[in-house]
Amino acid sequence: MTHRIGSALVQGDSAGVSGQDSAGVTGQNLSASWPRRSAGTLLGCVTGLFDSLHFLVVGTALGPFLLWPLTRASALGVLMAGARRLMVLERRRRAVFFGDVFPGRYQASDEKVLRYLAVRSYAGLLCGVVIALLGAGIVLAGLLVAGVVQGSVRWNELLTQVLLGGVLLFLDLQGLHSLAALDARLAREYFGPSERELLERRIHELAASRAAVVQAVDAERRRIERDLHDGIQQRMVALAMLLGRARRGRSPEQADAMLRQAHQESQDMMAELREVSWRVYPSALDSLGLEEALGGVSERCGIPVRTEFDVGGPLPQPVATAAYFVVSESVTNAAKHSRATAVSVRVGLRGGMLAVQVQDDGKGGANPAGGGLSGLRSRVAALDGALRVDSPEGGPTTITAELPCA
């Protein structure tokens, strides 16, 4: 589960707002050749020796100063300066010889750096011992072959030596493989957010997204209530008053005029009720699809809207709904507040990601933290998507949403 969450975070953040700070280590590049990885493993034995010497020499020299409270901060700073240089060296080794990619702005804590170097020093020295044993085994194998050629080794001794050497060779290679896997795991754990950190961050994002969705739903309910109270209800009161005046009319001409006004008022009320219900949820989205629903947005807008729709197949219903409201809210804001004369809408499906872009030629200066845009961001974030708003003063305003369809 944590591996899946970590992978999803890496993919989502690379396309979202958080960027590199939330990206994890991508892991070992299997396209790197085995001689290159072998050289990196051998170099890891040398860097492990440096790590051990840093703890042994510098740590021992600074020990009294680390124990004294007045000099502890300065001594720790000296110790950490060398430790961070060694950690940079380890990062470069993993990047050059194994093809690992690390987040550029991730800063590990002092405790994390020291813990990594402690484990790496032990693993590096152990790897050196295993390689030395492998070299000794190769030398002994050469001596055994020379003895067979000279006839000084009998066949029963040869069989025993071959069986014993094969077992030791297997254990030696298995140890190297395990130490290499440990080195890769340490890189994933300490050179970027660990799986635990990614999981905690994901939980925090989900909790924040859930709270934002609840707030957006409450705001939408208040808006619907306001539309009904200030619009539909007032028109119904006016219609009732017109019908009452028509009933009390003293002449047929006056009653006929009141009825005509009441008829017009009922038509206006029906149009406004239709508009309110469309903003709540467009029925065309279920019956005709997203493309036709976006066509309805263009028809109801007071300024020209050019729509480009490039989606080959059906979309998941939550994704289509979120895309519709992104376009609808953005177009409505452009018509009401930006003094725009034209709006362009682009909707395209690329590699399992639905990209929605709305751009207007208005005055710009849109507030991403405003009620409408923050509600859209919450709606998009609930689907693990990302919403970006680019609205410099003077325009244009570009709103881009990316919604995963998988």
C-alpha 75 chain-centroid distance: 39
86 plus 160 within the same structural domain: yes
Question: Which residue from 48, 25, 33, 40 is spatially nearest to 128, judged by alpha carbons?
Answer: 48
Q: Is residue 212 part of a domain?
A: no
Same domain membership, residue 127 and residue 151: yes
CATH of the domain at 300: 3.30.565.10
Give pLDDT, residue 288: 79
| 182 and 57 fall within a common domain | yes
The predicted structure's pLDDT at residue 341: 87
Residue 198 within a domain: no
Among 257, 280, 303, give the residue marking a domain's end: 280
| pTM score | 0.49
pLDDT at res. 346: 92
Number of domains comprising the chain: 3
Going 12 to 15 to 18 to 22, the CA torsion angle's sign is positive
Give the model's pLDDT for residue 399. 92
Place of tokens 């295993």: 130
pLDDT along the chain (406 residues), means of 10: 35 36 47 79 88 88 87 88 89 86 75 88 89 88 83 80 87 88 85 72 76 68 71 76 77 79 78 64 75 83 87 85 87 83 90 89 80 78 86 88 86
Residues 126 and 257 in one domain: no
Say if residue 183 is in the same domain as residue 267. no
Same domain, 171 and 42: yes
Can you give the pLDDT at residue 13? 37
Residue 159 forms part of a structural domain: yes
Q: Kindly state whether residue 140 falls inside one of the protein's structural domains.
A: yes
> pLDDT for 193-225, tens place per residue?
666 767 877 788 777 767 766 766 666 677 777
| Residue 345 confidence (pLDDT) | 92
Assigned domain for 217 exists: no
Do 290 and 234 sit in the same domain of this protein? no
**Which residue range is the domain that position 240 belongs to?**
222-280
Kindly state whether residues 233 and 288 are assigned to the same domain: no
What pLDDT digit, counting tens, does each position of 349-374 carry?
Answer: 888 889 999 999 888 888 777 667 77
Looking at the structure, do residues 255 and 290 belong to the same domain, yes or no? no
Same domain, 178 and 41: yes
Predicted confidence at residue 213, as pLDDT, reads 67
pLDDT at 317: 86
- Tell me, yes or no, whether 271 lies in a domain: yes
Distances from the Cα of 354 to the Cαs of 80, 295, 308, 315, in angstroms?
46, 18, 13, 9
44 lies in the same domain as 170: yes
Residue 254 lies in a domain: yes
For residue 199, being part of any structural domain is answered with: no
Are 227 and 322 in the same domain? Answer: no
